[in-house]
Amino acid sequence: MNVQERYRLWSENPYFEEEIQQELKEITDPQEIEDRFYTDLEFGTGGLRGIIAAGTNRMNKYVIRKVTQGLAECVCDHGPEGMQRGVVIAYDSRKYSPEFALEAGLILAKNGIKVYLFDALRPTPELSFAVRHLRALAGIVVTASHNPKTYNGYKVYWDDGGQVPPVKADQILARINARENWLGIEPMSLDEAKRSGLLQIIGEEIDQLYLSRVKELALYPDLDAQKGKELKIVYTPLHGAGNILVRRALSELGFSSVQVVHEQEHPDPEFTTVPYPNPEAPATFELARNYGNEMKADLLLATDPDADRLGVVLRKPQGDYIQLTGNQIGIILTYYILSQKKSLGTLPNNAAIIKTVASTDLADEVARYFNVRVENVLTGFKFIAEKEREMEEGGWGTFQFGFEESYGYLAGDFVRDKDAIIASVILAEAALYYQQVEGRTFFDVLESIYQQFGYYVEDQESLTLEGKRGKEEMALIMNTLRQEEIHELCGMTIERFDDYEQRISKNLRTGQTEPLKLPRSNVLRYSFSDGGFVMVRPSGTEPKIKFYISVKADTRTEADDLNCKLKKELMERIAKIRSA
């Protein structure tokens, strides 16, 4: 069907509820109609994410039905055993999240599949834990993570608790695409699903098991219990799912001086107090800073709506606050875990960390110093989880820590996605240890790392390019860069050019090429001979193209200056491509 045929079907067929049809009939802009119906909302390894509205290219219950039916058919391929193992479903605080979660559950039940549905909003990492603990075949989280309030999403997990891998995602997508007709996908009634035993509500029993595992990750539980109250923390869940579990985990370990930001404590799909519920954005900490100033807090912590990302702001000795980057948090946690486990004698001989190619190379240097293996994977935490599984099944490494620059962190072996509850606990303990045992702050720790390994500064720029035209413009940028051979940027020599779409790495000094082992992905990375890189990639979850910058210098001032000049030159180059 073409755009107009799809539009008429959704506007006129009684299968679609009156509210949907009225919304569509009120659209007067032909471009808006085209954008809603020119394609289906894309399903990939991250599932779905889109603006909440009527249309095939939007998030609504009919898209949920069609995608869930495709997932259900893949579950049924595993026979009665797979259907009985079932699917766990969680959701966050976004608009329609509970309704979409229930809709998905009732579609699965209609297909004879066992469903475990959380009784209220829960963090994404707890869903990952629940899939593993319940030995379910799959999991679903209804969330759009840190996207604006107009978005919602649908993430699919497989039996190891990690996001569905590319091969399985392709199988699900094939089932979704095989069904051209949007009509006739009906959910089971709620009463029947409960009466038949196909729908089981879960909650506190999973919380307790999950929290017990989180607390086991503490390296100094006695210190936490005895001195935890000395560390003053302000925490905001940003109206999301982290509120209860983050506070319980910290409190049960001994961190009793935690003040929640009351204005952002409770779920709010409008995210009334923040323009954008992303802990990377400084504005999200505005209220937390006020609380911090009042109680002279040591740490300000923020989790995003589904509590898989953690943002951190530190109090400086002068009394003002400064926000850490995702890379700085990752470095602090890497250094703390490896150095303390080495000191305690608990660092395995085959210890390994996993990070993404968009994250700082400083972590590689720190890990090598402790004789720890480093695995670099594509951007997206699903690839960290996949590598952890490979490591575990192959027996060639023991996972210690994983992180990505976009505020995602993981330790332990019981979750297979980034986890802000785990990160909050380890970070709080690290701050307490350095404060109480070594008399240092995180600023002191970072400075000592920079002095030892070099001053790394990372930055990021992004362009928002929405709709069909936006996708075309992103393709133009990537294709132009791919065809050019750039040998230097900002006076820095580029030694290696990696094209992950072509899966080729080229040494620009020698001209030699070699295959890249990572999966195919539309990513370009330029590595400088003296350290640092530039990386370009279209986002897989937002209508953006992202530019990652990392520079290395002998002093902080030199690194900051170099970063500013490099970013300016890079964006001027991109502007020329767009205007050509």
Q: What would the two tokens of residue 296 be? A: 């002279």
Query: For the chain, percent helix, then strand, then coil, each to nearest 5?
Result: 45, 20, 35
Identify the CATH number of the domain defined by range 327-453.
3.40.120.10
Q: Give the pLDDT of residue 275.
A: 86
Average model confidence (pLDDT) across the chain: 96
Classify 371 in phi/psi space as left (phi over 0), alpha (psi -120 to 50) or beta.
left
Identify the pLDDT of residue 146.
87
Choose the catalytic residue: 93, 128, 145, 527.
Answer: 145
Question: Which percentage of the chain shows pLDDT scores above 90?
Answer: 93
CA pair distance 155, 49, nearest whole angstrom: 8
Q: What gap in Å lies between CA 246 and CA 248, rounded to an integer?
A: 6
Structure tokens at 491: 């006076």
Could you tell me the two tokens for 168?
Answer: 């399985």
- The CATH superfamily assigned to 209-324 is Alpha-D-Glucose-1,6-Bisphosphate, subunit A, domain 3 (3.40.120.10)
Instruction: Please indicate whether residue 145 is annotated as part of the active site.
Output: yes
CATH architecture of 39-202: 3-Layer(aba) Sandwich (3.40)
Q: Span 392-405, mean pLDDT?
A: 96
Q: Rounded mean pLDDT of 20-26?
A: 96
pTM of the model: 0.94
pLDDT at 167: 87
Q: How many CB atoms lie within 10 A of CB 555?
A: 11
Q: Are 298 and 231 in contact (CB under 8 A)?
A: yes
**In this structure, what token pair is assigned to residue 45?**
């390894």
Burial (0-12, 13-18, 19+ Cβ within 10 Å), 343: exposed
Q: Is residue 347 over pLDDT 90? A: yes
* CA distances for 174 relative to 74, 164, 180, 387, 508, angstroms: 10, 14, 11, 25, 40
pLDDT tens digits along 190-209: 999 999 999 999 999 999 99
State the residue for tokens 């399985």.
168
pLDDT tens digits, residue range 487-505? 999 999 999 999 999 999 9
Give the mean pLDDT of 67-87.
98
- Tokens read off for 2: 């073409």
Q: How far does Cα 255 stand from its chain's mean position?
A: 26
Q: Provide the pLDDT confidence category of residue 369 given band limits of 50, 70 and 90.
A: very high
Domain limits, the chain: 39-202, 209-324, 327-453, 455-579
Q: Does residue 72 carry a pLDDT above 80?
A: yes
Residue 46, pLDDT above cutoff 80: no
Give the residues across from 514 on adjacent strands: 505
CATH topology of domain 455-579: TATA-Binding Protein (3.30.310)
Give DSSP secondary structure letters for 472-528. Answer: HHHHHHHHHHHHS---EETTEEEEEEEETTTTEEEETTT--EEE--SPP-S-EEEEE
Interval 345-366 mean pLDDT = 97
Alpha carbon distance 477, 469 (integer Å) = 13
pLDDT in tens, 411-467: 999 999 999 999 999 999 999 999 999 999 999 999 999 999 999 999 999 999 988
Interval 294-329: pLDDT, tens: 999 999 999 999 999 999 999 998 889 999 999 999
39-202 and 209-324 share one CATH topology?
A: yes
Q: For the residues 4-26, what does the mean pLDDT come to?
A: 96
pLDDT of residue 318: 87
Q: Per-residue pLDDT for 44 more than 80?
A: no
Phi-psi region of 280 (alpha: psi -120 to 50; beta: other; left: phi over 0): alpha
Could you give the CA distance from residue 314 to residue 236 in angstroms, rounded to a whole number? 14
Angstrom distances, CA of residue 44 to CA of 41, 156, 463, 511: 10, 9, 22, 35
Overall average pLDDT of the 80-87 stretch:
98
Q: 541 pLDDT exceeds 80?
A: no
pLDDT tens readout for residues 87-140: 999 999 999 999 999 999 999 999 999 999 999 999 999 999 999 999 999 999
pLDDT value of position 539? 86
Which two tokens mark 173?
A: 């997508």
Taking a C-beta distance cutoff of 8 angstroms, is the pair 303, 233 a contact? no
Q: Distance (Å, rounded) from C-alpha 348 to C-alpha 369?
A: 15
As a whole number, mean pLDDT of residues 345-357 equals 97
Q: Which residue has the higher pLDDT, 551 or 147?
A: 551
At 543, the pLDDT band (50, 70, 90 cuts) reads confident
| pLDDT tens readout for residues 223-244 | 999 999 999 999 999 999 999 9
